[in-house]
Chains A and B, each alone.
Chain A
């Protein structure tokens, strides 16, 4: 209850106070993106969860689980559906290098930093080296990904940086493929043993069969869906079929020990590339993304474990590292002239908040590997997400100032700045 009250007071006082204060400073309220993205619903999770007023019985939460499983599949499907080869082929190969580099550098930085931190500072709760590797790996696949919704939100503050935001949007919309892919691999590599409450590695042959089956079910479901929807015109009937197929895939995947997120992503990608009504379907499915994100947040908040101080510090350090590593990649991109425009390292904060895929992966892992460490990861995610979104409006202001300053330096005064902007465009 203490956490709840603290968070509630922070939210109410912070929101009311900041609106006035920040209005005077001509900066958006730090809560503006928190409300825009719906992350504020975390508070709702705290109210109804066990740490709050415990409004929902365990039985009710238990009965909600099929819906959560379905939502996992749905998020995977939505993401997969956006992987349209026709569009991806049009992107220059240099952009792909930028994408891989931006993900990989942060991945490595987060992995080694977390592993070192866990070995050095957190004795007592993660002593096992294999668990520490797993913990670091999960954070390393999650932290580098980014939210397209945040990039779009930020773009309105930087109207003169169209090319830069196109590149950032590309990264934010495609980089989710890596964590989902790794989750699929993790499901084929390890199995949770309820009897010992431990995780065992599966033999290589089993890995290949399991991964192959995940790929096969995903692909076949995509083909089946395409033929099922081929002749249906009615929007409402389409939604019924989509829901049915995703429920089916999600349930089946979990029954077989596969990742519903990965299998549905494949189904979505296959369906997306087979159908001729891509934009029509996109209009039907995208509005559902946000409600599902909200459901995830509420559910995650209800299930999360309390974070020890070391973990809170780790979350802060990881965010700084994410910012620095992405910024370093942007600097290298500029140095090697990979893109035909300059990308300020300040923009790296735009890739800081995580997308709805991150909570989905955590839930996916929580279902397959339920345990205290997964619950801690959930707590860590919630804390970092709130932190990143709180800083977002302030960071925008700082970046705007820095960019203006830099532009002024480069071209002596406002005229020069305008010239630099024009050149950049």
Chain B
């Protein structure tokens, strides 16, 4: 009750301020916006915890509520102005995620990881593609000849939608796992799959883009694109390894003000390497992985990162919520639910088949799929690329992807928490 009252006070004060104080300085407005997001995020996180939901869901929902598509206490400009902080938070989350994976665990679970990754990707990509082709005559969205004039466009759209549907959000997954305070074989398995999946998706997406271009315009396959993505991935991994060892050296020999150092390094990584087309997420994950597995400083790193995790998560997920574009969902909600539903189904089938082949335990076979529902940054980025690359159907399919992500990002944390609770129960 008291949390609800506080949320009411914060929102009411936000409404008063919005109406009475003209915004002259961008930085003042951004600082104020961040204050509103953090306070309302914190209170709503507590609120949803009372009904046994993960705090991340509360953060995202309150971001939606106060954001540009809700009460507009935070404008789209504010969200844009805070992208730097968002990037910093993402780098910190990625570093934590990398630090949570042990080489021994990766080795032990390698067969399961490979099987789940392979079958999930295969089932979703082919399944969604087939779904789009079969349902084309029945769904006005795909039957629209101005956007999808021929079968080539339909195949391209289906392929790209399928590839993006395979992706999961490492940041959301990690946040829910950290909040659950569980560390077991399953959490390690989930994190490993989610992180490796990001690399696989990057490759699949570039190949998918080239194939789609062939479907649409008859252009031939472009190996340059694959080389480019190879450079991006190899470059990110290489820089990640170097940064990992820099962190190790600092934690080992300097020790002083290590939180400041890590924050500065994450900021540096995001600012310097993103413009070079390297992936801060992958880069920092590798850095975390190096610290954890190639030094004795992994414990120190996680300790330092955990000391700043709640504010980081609140900033990141409330901003994610505020950045969600609800306008597409309003018009495409039926198709969105359909695609999201089939995505769940194919995730289940892929994980089940993978688990069955490597003879995994029933929990993995029946329920592990629930851990891979959430979707965020990478998928949104890919949707933007599709929009820019395909003039006829790009914006349409991108809108559909964004609205499916909205559903996945809200439902995903709930399903992951359900799975984590289930593993706890079954163990006891």
A305 to B32, CA, bound (A): 29
Partner among A66, A68, A224, A255 whose Cβ is within 8 Å of the Cβ of B9:
A224
- Which residues 231-256 of A have a CB within 8 angstroms of B? 231, 236-237, 239-241, 243-256
Asked if A26 is at the interface of the complex by the 8 Å CB criterion, the answer is no
Asked if B421 is at the interface of the complex by the 8 Å CB criterion, the answer is no
Across the interface, do A66 and B42 meet the contact criterion of CB distance under 8 Å?
no
Inter-chain residue pair count (beta carbon < 8 A): 112
Interface residues on B, range: 35 or more
Across the interface, do A240 and B27 meet the contact criterion of CB distance under 8 Å?
no
Asked if A294 is at the interface of the complex by the 8 Å CB criterion, the answer is yes
Across the interface, do B260 and A294 meet the contact criterion of CB distance under 8 Å?
yes
Given the known inter-chain contacts A247-B35, A294-B260, please indicate yes or no for A56 contacting B271, CB distance below 8 A: yes
Binary per-residue interface labels of chain A (47-66) against chain B in the complex, 1 for a CB within 8 Å, 0 otherwise: 00000000010001011111
Which residue of chain A is the closest to B25 with respect to CB atoms? A254
Across the interface, do B310 and A237 meet the contact criterion of CB distance under 8 Å?
yes
Residues of A within 8 A of B307 (CB): 236
Residues of B within 8 A of A291 (CB): 257, 259-260
Tell me the minimal C-beta distance from B191 to chain A in angstroms.
21
Across the interface, do B6 and A240 meet the contact criterion of CB distance under 8 Å?
no
Asked if B287 is at the interface of the complex by the 8 Å CB criterion, the answer is no
Across the interface, do B311 and A251 meet the contact criterion of CB distance under 8 Å?
no
Q: Interface of chain B, helix or strand or loop or mixed?
A: helix
Across the interface, do B306 and A236 meet the contact criterion of CB distance under 8 Å?
yes
Across the interface, do A256 and B260 meet the contact criterion of CB distance under 8 Å?
no
- Which residues 297-343 of B have a CB within 8 angstroms of A? 306-311, 314
Partner among B36, B81, B310, B311 whose Cβ is within 8 Å of the Cβ of A63:
B81
A37 to B85, CA, bound (A): 27
Residues of B within 8 A of A228 (CB): 6, 39
Give the total of A residues in contact with B, Cβ under 8 Å: 37
Across the interface, do B310 and A245 meet the contact criterion of CB distance under 8 Å?
no
Across the interface, do B39 and A250 meet the contact criterion of CB distance under 8 Å?
no
Residues of A within 8 A of B38 (CB): 240-241, 243-244, 247-248
Residues of B within 8 A of A224 (CB): 9
Asked if B189 is at the interface of the complex by the 8 Å CB criterion, the answer is no
Tell me the minimal C-beta distance from B357 to chain A in angstroms.
41
Which residue of chain B is the closest to A64 with respect to CB atoms? B84
Given the known inter-chain contacts A248-B36, A255-B24, A255-B25, please indicate yes or no for A240 contacting B311, CB distance below 8 A: yes
Residues of A within 8 A of B271 (CB): 56, 60
Given the known inter-chain contacts A60-B271, A236-B309, A291-B260, please indicate yes or no for A70 contacting B42, CB distance below 8 A: no
Given the known inter-chain contacts A240-B38, A246-B35, A248-B36, please indicate yes or no for A69 contacting B28, CB distance below 8 A: yes
Residues of B within 8 A of A244 (CB): 34-35, 37-39, 41-42, 311, 314
Tell me the minimal C-beta distance from B137 to chain A in angstroms.
49
Across the interface, do A241 and B27 meet the contact criterion of CB distance under 8 Å?
no
Which residue of chain A is the closest to B35 with respect to CB atoms? A248
Partner among A64, A245, A294 whose Cβ is within 8 Å of the Cβ of B35:
A245
Residues of A within 8 A of B82 (CB): 66
Asked if B151 is at the interface of the complex by the 8 Å CB criterion, the answer is no
What residues of chain B have their CB less than 8 Å away from a CB belonging to chain A? 2, 6, 9, 17, 21-39, 41-42, 81-85, 257, 259-260, 271, 306-311, 314
* Known contacts A228-B6, A231-B2, A291-B257; 15 further A-B pairs (Cβ under 8 A): A60-B271, A69-B31, A239-B308, A241-B39, A243-B38, A244-B37, A244-B39, A244-B41, A244-B314, A250-B28, A254-B28, A255-B17, A255-B28, A291-B260, A294-B260
What residues of chain A have their CB less than 8 Å away from a CB belonging to chain B? 56, 60, 62-70, 224, 228, 231, 236-237, 239-241, 243-256, 290-291, 294, 367
Pairs A–B under 8 Å by Cβ, sample size 20: A62-B27, A64-B84, A65-B26, A66-B27, A66-B82, A237-B42, A240-B311, A244-B39, A245-B35, A245-B39, A248-B36, A250-B28, A250-B35, A254-B28, A255-B17, A255-B24, A255-B25, A255-B29, A290-B257, A367-B27
